[in-house]
Structure 1
Amino acid sequence: MGPTSALFIERHLVPELKAWRGEMSLAGVFWVYGIFVSAELAMLHVIALYLDQLWVQQAAILAFALYTPWILVAIWRCAGNAAPFWATMVRWLNVAWALNTAFILLFLQFDLLLRYAQG
């Protein structure tokens, strides 16, 4: 990564970097990035599915596949800033979230590949 991209990241992605490092509140990261942003990505896929736009569906699957590891790590690290009960609860939810997302993305991709093959 060159100095220009590092400078861009430092200037424009400060909250995301803080979340990645576990320096934000668990509630903020969980609800804003975990729930809201993930729901937005899911809705993008649903709309593309409804409109039968295969390339948008593929882009949404790829975006979600790239976004998921980041949010899982950020939530896991930010859990250390919460009360022990919530930290443990959210870490178990994180494991379930990871498994659920992996299966959903796998099945969505498989379905999309079948639709590509059918023409």
Structure 2
Amino acid sequence: MQLAAASGLMSLFLFIVAVALLALLGGGFWMTSRVKYREPPRPRPDEQPKLPPEGAVHEVRQNRESAEVPQTSKGGRPLTPYELTNMDSQPSESEERPRWSRGSSGSFGGGGLGAH
């Protein structure tokens, strides 16, 4: 019977734990409000980005042809990356997408059967 009876010390311990928990939660809200107060204010509606006067920008799809890599003479030393210039590309005349093989995009996992 004595074990089942509530002791004053146990009640005091539970009360202290409850007060500590409430203080911890209150401190969390206080810290959050301090951080939020230091943030810059949200932009007003007139500060929001606007569309350009000509309207929305649309995607442009085109094929590009890369410049040829310079050939070295037979027996000559290979070119280093520092000797190559910025290889520029130009728009391609062809509108057909280049393919590695029929039914495949040429990428790993492209859905094709591969080179058989």
User: Which protein has the bigger strand share?
Assistant: 2
**Greater Cα radius of gyration, structure 1 or 2:** 2
TM-score higher than 0.5 here? no
Give the TM bin, normalised by the shorter chain: under 0.3
Tell me the TM-score normalized by structure 1.
Answer: 0.23
User: Which protein has the bigger helix share?
Assistant: 1
Tell me the TM-score normalized by structure 2.
Answer: 0.24
